[in-house]
Amino acid sequence: MSVSGSHVVITGGGSGVGAEMARVFAAEGAKVTILGRSYAPLKEVADETGALPLAADVTQRASLDAALGQAREVNGPVAIAIANAGAAPSAPFRKVTAEAFSASLAVNLEGVFHLWQACHEEMAAAGWGRLIAIASTAGLKGYPYVSPYCASKHGVIGLTRALAQELGRTGITVNAICPGFIDTPLLSKSIEAITAKTGKSEDEARAQLYAGNPQKRFVETGEVAGTALWLCSKAAASVSGHALSLSGGEI
């Protein structure tokens, strides 16, 4: 199946990986809806791609449901739901507050739950659908100073595996894409934190982050978007329940 004419919803579509997925899916003729809390960056991506921009907070089910309702009115039933919104604040474990831990789970894990649960029934009714999460290599291995992020991304992979079992006969596939470090606004915050806390230069901080990648580079947003597109292709119809590592062999 081509994605042309299919309605794809992308959370966190105003920047980084989400914005690139909006470009790639729109170029393939999909009807793209992008969601995020801030409207201005969504509008910029929408002006460039023709996507429908809607403000919504994925941690708030009512906010998400309202946006999805508007999106369906414009673009029809959702066929592809890409849970991409996320945040990765860093702190040593002893300084992680209960509130910060919950906030991480809320956006990185519960946000995936809310989007997928809100969309899977219309996919099952159509006999075809794609539930995709942008997880992380932090869902497959541990990293220091991002314990809530790692815990939430490991949770996304558990959810993916469970739903692939449960939804196997519906025509829906469920997969998590697990990139290593990607050069996006989210990464810039990590680089700022490293330079501030260690006195390293920006170049040194960048090199420290991709040191674990055998290719010694950051993953590109286009590589993530291309993988999501492939998961929607006929060739990937039996790919379900996977945590696809895009990390140059890091894991």
Binding residues (CB under 6 A) for ligand NAP: these are 11-12, 14-18, 35-38, 57-59, 84-88, 107, 134, 136, 179, 181-182, 184-187
Q: How far is the CB of 117 from ligand NAP (least distance, A)?
A: 16
Is 149 among the residues known to form the active site? yes
Token pair, residue 202, equals: 């920006």
Nearer to ligand NAP, 43 or 200 (CB): 43
Q: How far is the CB of 242 from ligand NAP (least distance, A)?
A: 16
Helix (H, G, I), strand (E, B) or coil at 52: strand
Distance, in Å, from the CA atom of 21 to the CA atom of 76, rounded to the nearest integer, reads 19
**Residue 154 CB coordination number (10 Å):** 19
Q: Between the CA atoms of 84, 90, 93 and 96, what dihedral angle is there, to the nearest 10 degrees?
A: -80
Give the C-alpha distances (Å, rounded to integers) separating 158 from 59, 134, 163, 187.
19, 13, 9, 25
Nearer to ligand NAP, 129 or 180 (CB): 180
Nearer to ligand NAP, 108 or 170 (CB): 108
Q: What is the distance of C-alpha 181 from the center of its chain?
A: 13
Q: How far is the CB of 77 from ligand NAP (least distance, A)?
A: 21
> By the 8 A CB rule, do 17 and 184 touch?
yes
DSSP result, 67-122? HHHHHHHHH-S-SEEEE---------GGG--HHHHHHHHIIIIIHHHHHHHHHHHH
Nearer to ligand NAP, 23 or 170 (CB): 23
Nearer to ligand NAP, 85 or 232 (CB): 85
Exposure string for 7-40, b = 16+ CB within 10 A, e = fewer = bbbbbbbbbbbbbbbbbbbbebebbbbbbbbeee
Among residues 39, 143, 145, 149, which one is catalytic? 149
Annotated active-site positions, please? 149
